[in-house]
Structure 1
């Protein structure tokens, strides 16, 4: 999904929106990767929480992108579902690390 978002907005001239949505999209896998390079579960959970927060941020930006016509409803709803699924998986991982 992150690469799809990046490609989708590559030619977008609204630099503020483009930069914000691509940053949050790239932040999710980046924070997951950084978390898994950490030594303890506590440290991993911190970065997984960052990724989960970025997933919520991305969903908000997708809603806005659909409303302002930058993202087709079909594509936007698919991306929102993917972001929601990722958020649920991250929640489960974080919960497992805390127990």
Structure 2
């Protein structure tokens, strides 16, 4: 009865998860992440030179730049629920939109 038409079984429905997440970031994903961090640093440098000061801008200027960040902080974020308290940046939803340059002490 359901063999034909819109309700027929498809490969993803039979197999399971369609989008599989790799367990580590590829070289190109890491490169893109570094470029995004450098772009943010460029914007902050421009704002620093232009003059207007706000509380949020002052807080953002205290964050480390891409060159000052260790690789551990560039590509992973703190996660309470993960085994080593770290989770790959690519597994975080909307990881390009969050400021994850600082983590809790010791992690």
More strand by percentage: 2
Q: Report which of the two structures shows the higher radius of gyration computed on alpha carbons.
A: 2
| Same-fold call, TM cutoff 0.5 | no
Relative to the length of structure 1, the TM-score reads 0.36
